[in-house]
Chain A
Amino acid sequence: MSGRMEETGPAGRRAALMAGYRPPAGAYDELLDADGTVRARWRPMIEELSRLSAAKVEGRIARGDEYLRDAGVYLRQFGSDDAERVWPLSHLPVLIEDDDWATLVEGLAERADLLELVAADLYGANRLVAEGHLPAGLIAQSPEWLRPMVGVEPASGHRLHLVAFDVARGPDGHWWVLGDRTQAPSGAGFALENRVATARVFSELYGRTNVHRLAGFFRDFRENLQALVPGGEGRSAILTPGPLSDTYFEHAYIARYLGMTLLEGEDLVVENGRLMVRTVSGLEPVGALWRRLDASYADPLELDDRSRLGTPGLISALRARTLSMVNALGVGILETRALLAFMPRLGEILLERQLRLPNVATWWCGDPVAREAIAGRDDIQWSAALSTRLPYEGDQPLPSHGFAETGAEAEHLRRTHPELFVGQEIVSLSATPVLEHGCLATGQCSLRVFLARGPDGWQALPGGYARIASGEGGAASLGKGGRVADVWVVARAPVERVSLLGTGQAAAQGPRQGALPSRAADNLFWLGRYIERAEDTMRLVRAYRVRADEAGDEDTPILAFFTDYLTELGVDTDQRLPEALAQTIGSAVFSASKVRDRFSVDGWAALKDLSATADSMGRNADLSDAGGRIMGILLRKITGFSGLAHENMYRFAGWRFMRVGRSLERAAATSAMLCALFDEKAPEGALDIALEVGDSVMTHRRRYSLEASAASVAALLVFDPMNPRSIVFQVAEIDEQVNLLPEGGLMGRAADLARATMRLRTALATAVPDEVDTAFLDRVRLELEAISDHLGRVYLA
C-alpha cells in the first residue's frame, strides 16, 4: 500500500496510474509504442481508469470477484489437497486490434489444417514415417498414438473439430505458437466467465467499445456439433470424466450455457454399433460427442482397461461410423512436444508452403544434426520429447523411463538416450498491464485461441482467454501462480451483438435435448431423499436437545426412549453435529455435484452454504447449542434450499424425480417415526415428539384438544390431505408426479409403478383413522419401499 501515489486531479491520477508500469527491455509492449505513447486500442481504457480513483477501481474489481464467487467459478486442483481454488482472474483484459487478430487467426487456421493432415496420415497411410519425415520411434513410443484407431475413418470426415493454440508475441510483435491443444482443449467455458466478470468490472466501457462478442462462436459451435450427427438421428452431447476432473466446473457450465446433455461414460452403452444413452425413457441414440475425457480412458475394451470412466465398445461405434467425435480419439499425439521440431517441414510437405506462423524453436535430440545445432547454447530449455504439456506447465516424468528431466540423472540420460529429449528456445512474452491496488503494474501474457470447424472452415473464438504472469521469466513463469485474463478483440467499427440468452428465436433453435439420462435422474432422486433425510434428522435432534435441556441432569423415561430411537437411526446424540447428519448433507452435496449442469447457480450456492455452515458449527465448540439452536440455524438454511428448488426450478422430468425422492423419504420417515411413537411401550410425551417433528404443534392445538392422542396425531400426520407433513399428502404428491414421468401411468412402461402408488393411495383413503396401529404403518412403509423399487427398475437402472 505504501506504493500508492498522491492523487491530485486527473493528470495526477494518470501519472500515478502509469507509474508502476515498467515493461522489461526487449519485450514487445502491448500498451505503449516505441515512443512511450499509449497505443490507440488502449486509450479508452486508460482514460477510463484515469477518471476513477484507485479506490473506485478496487471497488469495481470487487464487483467482478463477487460475480465469480456467486457463480461458483473454481478450479479443482489435484496434488495439493484436492482444494478448490477461486478462479484467478486478472481483471484488466488484454486488448488486441482486430486486424492484428485476423492475421493471427489466419495463421492458426492454416496450422489447424496442417494438424488435421498430420493426424490423417498418422492414422492412415503413414507416409510421413515411411518417407522419413517423422521418426517412427517418436510415434510408436508415444502413449497418445492409439493403435486401435489406426485405419478408423472418422464419420465426420475430420479428426479435428475444436482446437486451441497457446500463442505469444516475440520482441518484434510477431506471434509465435507455444503449443497445440487437440486432445480436449479446455478453457472455452472459462473464457465466457472471464468475459462476464470483466464486463462487470468495466461495464460502461465495455458497452461503448467495439469488442467482438463471444456468444456467436458458441451458437455456431452447437449447431455444427448437431450437424455432425451421422444421418441426423440422435443427439449431440458432452462427455465428461465427472466431478473429480479438474475442469468439471467448465464442463457443467458450458453444458448449461449451450443447453446440451452432459454425460459420463457410465451413462452410455453401445448397442449394435450405435452409441446409446440410458435415459428415463429407455435407450436413445447419441450421434455426436464433444469429448472432454482423455482418449485413453474412453473405451476399456480396447484402450486402457483399468479405466472406470469409459464406455466399453465405444470404438466399435466409431468403426461403424455411427458416431462423430469432437475430437477423434488419438489426436492427442499431435500435442507431443517433439512434433514442434517437425512442424515447419511438415508444412512444406503437406501444404507445400512455409507456415505463416512459426512455433517456438524446437530441436528433437534424437537427430544428431539437431543436437549439434544447440550444443553449448544457454538459452535452451530441455524437456521430455514425448510430453504433451505446454512449455510452462512443467513436466510429467518421462513415460518410458520414469524419472524427471532435470538433475544429474537426467543429464546422464540425455547423453545415453538423447531421443527422449527436446531442446526449446526460451521464449519471451509480451508485456501487458495488470491492476494492482488500483494502479497499473507489469505482467506478461500469452493467449489461448480456440478454433472450431464450421461448414466454411475454421472460426475463432474472438478473445476471452489470456494467461498472465507477473514479473519476468518468459513462458516458464506462466505456470507459477499465473493468472487468467479476458482478451478483448477491439474493432474500429461497431460489432455484431449476439447472445445465447437473447431472443425466443435463438432459444427455439436449441438442440433436441432428448430424454433425461438415467444417472442424472438417479442423482436428483437421491438429492431429494438426502435433503429430506437431513431435514428430518435436524428436526429430530432439535426436539431431542430441547427435551435434554429441560430435563437437566435427570434421566427421564422419554429422554431415554428418544435416545434409543435416535441411536437406532444411527444418530449419536452426544455429538454437537451428529456424524450421521454430516454424512447425509455430504451425500446431498455429492449427488448435486453430479448434476451441476442441471442446477441453478443459486441452488448450488445454497447447498454449499448449508454444508459449510454445518461444518463450522460442528467444529466451533464455543457456540451455544441451548435449546437445539444449531439445528434451528441449519433448518433455516435447508428450507432456503428447498424453497429455491420448489419455487424456481423448471418442472422438467429431473425436478419430478427430486420431488418424488423427497416425498418418498418424508412419508417413509413419518411412518417409521409414528411406528415407534405409537408403540404401547412408548412413554408419555411420545406423541408430542411426533407433532413437534412433524411441524404440526400449532395446527393440532387449533384443531384438536390440548392433549394429543394417537387418533388426533394420526388424523393430522397420516390422513390430513391439507397437511404437507402428512403421509396422505406426500403419497398424493408421489402419485401425481410419477404419472407425469415419461411413459408414466397405468398403460405405459411404468404400469407397475403407477399401480403401486394407486394401491397405497387407495389403502390410505379407505383406512379408518382410529384403527391406525403399528402394523398398518409397517404396511405403509413396505408399500413405499415397493414404489421406490419400481421407480428404480423402470427409470434409474
Chain B
Amino acid sequence: MTMRYDIRLTMEFAYEGQSGGGRHAIRVLPRSIDGVQRLVAGHVDVAAKPAERHERLDFFGTDVVDFAYDAVDGDLVYHARARVERAARRIDLASSASLAGLPGELAKCAALDALAPIHFLAASPWIAPDAAVARYAREVAGGRASVYEAASALNASIYRDMRYDAEATDVNTPLGEAFAERHGVCQDFSHIMIAGLRHLGIPAAYVSGYLRTIPPKGAVRLEGADAMHAWVAAWCGTELGWVEFDPTNDLVVASDHIVVGYGRDYGDVAPVRGVIRTAGSQTTRQAVDVVPVAQDQERP
C-alpha cells in the first residue's frame, strides 16, 4: 500500500554573538526512487537572509541546497517541508545472491554510476576497518548461506546487543568506540552494521531519512522518529539488489521510512555540512514531524 506523508523539519543553529560568513550544504529533502518513493513537493528555507542559495544534485543523487552567508547574527534556523508518497518494496528472498557467489557477481559489475555496489565495498572516511566489528560480523553472519540472511542476522544481533542511548555518543564518536561500549544512536548502529557487512564482502550504504512519528495502530513507536533517522542498505546481488535494514529497530524497511539519500557513510549524506566562521560555540537543535495524510487530501 502506498503511504502519503507530510514531513516538517526544523534545524536550529545558535551561535554565540555575531559570526562571520560561511557556507552550509543542506541535505534534507526526500529523493524519488522508481516504484518506491516519490517526492510530490518539497522546499528548504532559512530564517535569515543568505547571500546566496543554490540547488544541485550530488554524486549519489541526493538533493543539496547550498546556502552562503556574509555574516550570521545569532541563530540560523532551517525549515524543510515535503510531501512524499512511499510504498514498501516487494522482496523476493529467494533471489538473494549466496555469500559465496557474491564476489563473482561483483567482479562482473563494470559501472561507476551513483548506486553501483562497488562504491560501497571499501572503507570510507567515517567507516574505518575495525577488527572487533569484523570478528563480530564473522561470528554472527559469516556462516549464512545467502547475503540477505547474513545481513538480516547482523541487523538482528546489533539490535539485540546494542543499547540505544541518545546521550552516550555524539556525531563524531568513532564507530569502534560505540561498538566497544555497545551503545549509541542510529548513526552508530548503522556505521557498525555497514562496517560488519563490508568485512563480509557485502556492499553496504548509509541511508539518511525520516521515520513516521506516530506508528500505525497496534504497533510500537520506533526509535529515532523525533529527529532525522539513519539506516543501512545492503546489496544482495544483481537480482535482488539493494535491501534496506534498520538495525536501530530490527526491521526490514517497508513504508514507514522515507529516504533522503544514500552515501558511503554519514559524511556523504550529513543533513548539514559546512563552516560558519565563529569565535564562540554553537549549539544545534532538531525537530521532525512525519505525519501520514489521507489519500484524498490533495495539497499540503
Contacts and interface: CB of A to CB of B under 8 A. Distances in A.
A124 to B, nearest CB: 11
Contacts of B119: 140, 147
> Secondary structure at chain A's binding surface: helix, strand, loop or mixed?
loop
Given A130-B110, A136-B110, A136-B111, A312 B274 contact: yes
Query: In which size bucket is the chain B interface?
Result: 20 to 34
A141 B198 CA distance: 12
Given A313-B23, A316-B66, A402-B128, A136 B123 contact: no
A301 B23 contact: yes
A401 B123 CA distance: 8
Nearest to B54: A316
B87 to A, nearest CB: 29
A301 B118 contact: no
A301 B22 CA distance: 10
Nearest to B70: A271
Contacts of A316: 54, 66
A304 interface: yes
B111 A269 contact: no
Given A129-B112, A312-B22, A401-B129, A140 B122 contact: yes
Contacts of B123: 399-402
Interface in A125-139: 126, 129-132, 136-137, 139
B78 to A, nearest CB: 16
Contacts of A140: 112, 116, 118-119, 121-122
A323 to B, nearest CB: 16
B52 interface: yes
Contact of A304 (B21, B125, B275): B125
Interface string A266-292: 000111100000000000000000000
A312 B122 contact: no
A141 B122 contact: yes
A300 interface: yes
Contact of B23 (A131, A150, A312, A401): A312
Nearest to B129: A402
Determine the interface band of chain A, counting residues with CB < 8 A from chain B. Answer: 20 to 34
Contacts, number: 78
B166 to A, nearest CB: 23
B128 A301 contact: no
Contacts of A269: 21
Contacts of A300: 273-275
A313 B273 CA distance: 11
A136 B112 contact: yes
Interface in B35-86: 51-52, 54, 58-60, 66, 68
Nearest to A366: B107
Contacts of B129: 400-402
Contact of B68 (A137, A147, A313, A399): A313
Interface in A303-321: 304-305, 312-313, 316
B3 interface: no
Nearest to A143: B125
A302 interface: yes
A301 B273 contact: yes
Contacts of B125: 304
Contacts of B112: 126, 129, 136, 139-140
A26 interface: no
Interface string B261-276: 0000001001001110
A129 B110 contact: yes
Interface in B1-49: 21-23, 25
A137 B118 contact: yes
Given A126-B112, A129-B112, A301-B25, A400 B66 contact: no
Interface in B122-180: 122-123, 125, 128-129
Contacts of A402: 123, 128-129
B275 A312 contact: yes
A394 interface: no
A148 interface: yes
A346 B128 CA distance: 32
B54 A136 contact: no
A141 B121 contact: yes
Nearest to B51: A271
Nearest to B25: A301
B13 to A, nearest CB: 15
Given A129-B110, A129-B111, A302-B25, 19 more contacts: A140-B112, A140-B116, A140-B119, A140-B121, A140-B122, A141-B118, A141-B121, A147-B60, A148-B59, A150-B59, A270-B68, A271-B52, A300-B274, A301-B66, A312-B274, A313-B66, A313-B68, A316-B54, A399-B123
Interface of A: 126, 129-132, 136-137, 139-141, 147-148, 150, 269-272, 300-302, 304-305, 312-313, 316, 399-402
**Ordered nearest first, which 4 A-B pairs have the shortest CB separation?**
A147-B59, A141-B122, A140-B118, A312-B23
14 contacts: A126-B111, A129-B110, A129-B111, A131-B110, A136-B116, A137-B121, A140-B112, A140-B118, A141-B121, A148-B58, A269-B21, A270-B68, A272-B52, A301-B66
